[in-house]
Amino acid sequence: MSANADTALLLHFVRYPRQRNPGEPSSKEEKLLTQPTYHYRNVCGWRLATPRRWVAKPGDEPMCVRLTSAVLSLLLMAYGNASAADPAVWQQWRGPTRDGQVTGTAWPDTLKGDAIKPLWKVENLGPSYSGPIVASDRVFTTETVDKKTEVVTAYDRKSGKELWKTKWEGSISVPFFAAKNGSWIRSTPAYDGKTLFVAGIKDLLVALEGESGKELWRFDFVKEFAASPPAFGFVCSPLVDDSGVYVQAGGCFAKLDKATGKVLWKTMNDGGGMNGSAFSSPVFARLAGKDQVVVQSRTKLGGVERDTGKELWVKEIPSFRGMNILTPTPIGDGGVLTSTYGGNTRLLKVTSEGGKYETSDDWSLKYEGNMTSPVIVKGHAYILGKDRRLICVDVATGKEKWRTDERFGEYWSVVANGDKILALDNRGVLFLLKANPVEYELLDQRKIADSECWAHLAVCGDEIYIRELTGLRVFRWSK
């Protein structure tokens, strides 16, 4: 690239319909220059998928801004410095874009031997289903201790040394038929770079200062909304933007001011208790030309206006006893993919004309999901369902491309990077797959944990964070 300031280059600024990171800056300028959810592409057809590296992303319609190569060089130098100073993070449920996708150096083709090396571990933790939250310098975990106390701990990211610990009383006993799933904390926290938002199992949301663990505020949904206690606990993982924190709790979907805990709005009331109390988590999306929050309750899938809480559209989603568990997956400008236990797998189409929204099934497939939210790679969804088989589905047509003969565990947490998929089985086995729409292609597998793994794994650059039921393990990919 020439450094001649007289040579003008085109830098394409592209906003993709992806999830915002927690704590995304509110000003347009900050969003364009600092956020991983906004991507930049030059005329060669490359984009900066995070402020760290270039990856290919053809076929998007850009908005062009003419810059001199000198200015472009300064921008690239700034990104290079940011890369050295700011390691990759995992600050919410399912990662930076809340869809199980990461970018960066290609993963190796094996898990054997020194392909992944242990860095540090913490043992003898209380049980938890919360995935680890990884900030630039620390890692947050939750646990339930002695069946009555919920504990949040911060560890130094490099060494695993404990930085702080805070706790509060919180416990329930789930119904007998769900006892095998335990009566401990479930939700994965969210971190916006300053504040950690933690959902306690009794429909309690607590905001903690990330630096010290100091409690900033708490909100008791059962008490404040006079709601029935959640029979299965606070399952929804908080979603955060620059103005608020969004959660499904207290028999509804609510947005709270993230600085004060004040309720800004609530909607989609479901009654809570045994038949309400969501199992899913919300996501941001742009559907039918409008930014919104997509919400999966026990019986309905809906789109909600972010600022007001207005219901834009709602669709009944059949399932067995309200077991709508998967996090909705936005597809393009008008699609939402979901799969339900006792129902089917479907792509819901959302359209709008004159402000009036309509929904319809673009396609449906007779395959029942369970607990594993899918990843999408090159137009294909990889889903582990109720039958514990992995299937590959063409998202455009709904056609099943293949289904494994092998049955796996009941749950996978899944992360995709390029054409590879890393899946953590609840039995403590790590699978490395090639995202191949033609056939199931297992690259390798490895027993990685001593106890069960129901928490979502986190992958940050060359580091892998695994919260097994009784401990935390950190590994590094070989280079």
List pLDDT tens digits, range 211-259: 999 999 999 999 999 998 888 889 999 999 998 999 999 999 999 999 9
In a domain, 92, yes or no: no
Dihedral sign of CA atoms 428, 429, 430, 431 in order: negative
What mean pLDDT comes out for the span 336-342? 92
Q: Examine the domain organization and report whether 58 and 197 are in the same domain.
A: no
Cα–Cα dist 275/323, whole Å: 10
Q: Examine the domain organization and report whether 72 and 142 are in the same domain.
A: no
In a domain, 95, yes or no: no
Kindly list the distances between the CA atom of residue 408 and the CA atoms of 94, 239, 387, 423, 424, in Å, as whole numbers in the listed order. Answer: 21, 30, 9, 11, 11
Please state the separation of Cα 185 from the chain's center in Å: 17
In a domain, 48, yes or no: yes
| Residues 6+ away with beta carbon under 8 Å from 61 | 14
Q: What is the pLDDT of residue 21?
A: 47
> Over 161-186, what HEC string results?
CEEEEEEEECCCCCCHHHHHHCCCCC
pLDDT tens digits for range 196-223: 999 999 999 999 999 999 999 999 999 9
Cα–Cα dist 456/412, whole Å: 8
In the structure, what pLDDT confidence band is assigned to residue 181 with cuts at 50, 70 and 90?
Answer: confident
Specify the pairing of strand 412-417 against strand 420-425: antiparallel
Q: Of 28, 55, 85, which residue is a domain's last?
A: 85
| Structure token digits, residue 383 | 């889903």
Lowest mean pLDDT among 77-81, 219-223, 247-251, 346-350: 77-81
Q: Examine the domain organization and report whether 332 and 472 are in the same domain.
A: yes
Q: Examine the domain organization and report whether 336 and 398 are in the same domain.
A: yes
Identify the residue whose tokens are 């009555």: 148
| Residues 6+ away with beta carbon under 8 Å from 147 | 171, 183, 184
Domain range for 41 = 8-85
Cα–Cα dist 300/285, whole Å: 17
Q: Examine the domain organization and report whether 110 and 259 are in the same domain.
A: yes
Q: Examine the domain organization and report whether 118 and 245 are in the same domain.
A: yes
| Structure token digits, residue 430 | 């790590």
In a domain, 386, yes or no: yes
Asked if 222 contacts 273 with a C-beta cutoff of 8 angstroms, the reply is: no
What mean pLDDT comes out for the span 364-381? 96
Dihedral sign of CA atoms 385, 379, 21, 264 in order: negative
What is the number of alpha carbons within 13 Å of residue 50 lying toward its C-beta? 21
In a domain, 2, yes or no: no
In a domain, 162, yes or no: yes
Q: Of 25, 54, 85, which residue is a domain's last?
A: 85
| Structure token digits, residue 286 | 């742009």
Cα–Cα dist 431/422, whole Å: 6
Structural domains of the chain, count: 2
Q: Examine the domain organization and report whether 68 and 184 are in the same domain.
A: no
Query: Quick one: residue 362, left, alpha or beta (phi over 0 = left, psi -120 to 50 = alpha)?
Result: alpha
Question: Which helix (H) or strand (E) element contains residue 390?
Answer: strand 390-394
Q: What's the full length of the chain, in residues?
A: 479
What mean pLDDT comes out for the span 442-461? 97
The SS3 assignment for 378 reads coil
Q: Examine the domain organization and report whether 77 and 107 are in the same domain.
A: no
In a domain, 93, yes or no: no
Q: Of 55, 85, 115, which residue is a domain's last?
A: 85
In a domain, 1, yes or no: no
Burial of 261 (0-12, 13-18, 19+ CB in 10 A): middle
What mean pLDDT comes out for the span 284-310? 95
Q: Examine the domain organization and report whether 54 and 179 are in the same domain.
A: no
pLDDT tens digits for range 185-195: 999 999 999 99
Average pLDDT, the chain: 84
Q: Examine the domain organization and report whether 74 and 178 are in the same domain.
A: no
At position 463, the amino acid (one-letter code) is: E
pLDDT above 90: percentage of residues in the chain: 71
Q: Examine the domain organization and report whether 145 and 81 are in the same domain.
A: no
Burial of 209 (0-12, 13-18, 19+ CB in 10 A): middle
Q: Examine the domain organization and report whether 364 and 426 are in the same domain.
A: yes
Q: What is the pLDDT of residue 85?
A: 56
pLDDT tens digits for range 17-75: 444 444 444 443 333 333 333 333 322 233 333 333 334 444 444 443 444 444 444 34
Asked if 77 contacts 70 with a C-beta cutoff of 8 angstroms, the reply is: no
In the structure, what pLDDT confidence band is assigned to residue 271 with cuts at 50, 70 and 90?
Answer: confident
